[in-house]
Amino acid sequence: MLFLFENYKSHRKTLFDNSKFRTQSIYAGLSHLDSDMTKREKWTEEDVKSLAFEEPDYFERKAGQLFSQNKGDFLCKLAKTVSAFANTGGGHILLGVRDDNTFDGMPPQEGKTSMKDWLEQTIPYLVDYSLSDFRVHTVLPAAQSSIPTGRVIIVVDVGDSSLAPHQSKRDKTYYYRCAGRSEPAPHFYLELLRQRLIHPTLKLELKGLELEDAYPTENGIFLEAMLRFRVRNVGRVAAYKWDIIPIGLYNSPDDRESDYHISLSTYPIKKRRTRSLRIDDTILPECGTDENTDLGVLLKPKSLAWDKVYAEVQTCITNIKVKYRLPTETSPGESFDFAIQEVVSTEEITKFIMAKCQDMQATS
């Protein structure tokens, strides 16, 4: 990644000759920015206990006692750590865990709000620019738990922010991770962070499954639908060219790959369809646009009975997950996974299919 920055070798020599270790840490941090720090779906007590005793650059422990004694001091330290991780490729913040990896826990609530919800509302505004790439988890306790009664352990996953550098609002300082600590970031490091902002950063959201048609074929029932996406530019650079590329389908029945279609040209019935064309692909920072992609599925229920169609829809549609990539004119883009059941129900699709097929039988 460093080859993107002109004269970095001369800067390195003039600015950091006095500290070889510090130089190595800075460039290790910048290199870490190339990796995609995956935010976890969940954290368990076993996950927390399995972490190394020494804190590396990608996680940090904070005792819950600090929150109970002085909430203001707690927020200052949390803002410092959030700034550091967001500026150094991401990491995990363990709340309610002492430095020796024993648990003292956090209160389960702050006022009438759960601790998880309170942190989700508080963390974005601890830094400038506001942070959006993070996730808060309440750790799942073990059967024989070491978490104190009436307390919880919280883990905050912080991603490699596209808006870095982020400044702590509490003390107006930029931080980065160095040798397992959050330290004020040198000017040179901040300049490198700012210069790396040369690619647009797009996010993809699945908003729904639009049902278009369903009809019997000699092999079963063919459902025509469209996946409705929202494309958002969450970075600072405008995206001028981009596309939504399908790269995978998961949880589908074995040997049924040929029953899924992503192109109108392979649908069993060819008919005139109107699809709007994008005149301008440009998405400015903090803006978005809607985009639809085709999805056809050949269903093979044993009969047109409700329970048979319902079971086939559940197996072949609502249980599946799809994966898409969002490349731009200068970047291969990020990959996104979506579960169909998050945007449409099995019952809704079954009702649509049954109504369409009954209408065809009535008019035949």
Please tell me the predicted confidence (pLDDT) of residue 56. 78
Integer Cα distance of 249 and 257 in angstroms: 9
Burial (0-12, 13-18, 19+ Cβ within 10 Å), 143: exposed
Last residue of a domain, one of 146, 168, 195: 195
Together in a domain, 140 and 20: yes
Same domain, 31 and 170: yes
Q: Band of the pLDDT at 142, cuts 50, 70, 90?
A: very high
| Residue 53 shares a structural domain with residue 108 | yes
pLDDT of 4 > 60? The answer is no
24/163 same-domain check: yes
User: Coil, strand, or helix at residue 20?
Assistant: helix
* Residue 38 binned pLDDT confidence (cut-offs 50, 70, 90): low
Do the beta carbons of residue 169 and residue 79 sit within 8 Å? yes
Report the side by side order of strands in the sheet with 245-250: 245-250, 321-326, 334-339
326 three-class SS:
strand
Q: What is the pLDDT of residues 167-215, one digit of tens each?
A: 999 999 999 998 888 999 999 888 877 766 667 888 999 999 999 999 9
CA gap 115, 216 in Å, rounded: 52
219 lies in the same domain as 120: no
| Cα angle: 133, vertex 138, 141; to 5 degrees | 145
Decide: 88 and 177 in contact? Cβ < 8 Å: yes
**235 and 318 together in one domain:** yes
Domain co-membership, 54 together with 158: yes
pLDDT recorded at residue 271: 75
209 with 326, same domain: the answer is: yes
pLDDT bracket for residue 306 (50, 70, 90): very high
Q: Domain boundary at 195, 214, 244, which?
A: 195
Among 176, 195, 214, identify where a domain stops.
195
Query: 223 with 320, same domain?
Result: yes
Per-residue model confidence (pLDDT) at position 276:
63
Across the chain, mean pLDDT equals 85
> What span, in angstroms and rounded, lies between the C-alpha atoms of 291 and 227?
8
pLDDT score at 363: 58
- Taking the mean position of all CA atoms in its chain, how far away is CA 25? 27
Total tally of structural domains belonging to the chain: 2
Q: How many Cβ atoms sit within 10 Å of the Cβ of residue 258?
A: 8
- Burial group, residue 227, by CB count within 10 angstroms (0-12, 13-18, 19+): buried
Structural domain of 233: 202-363
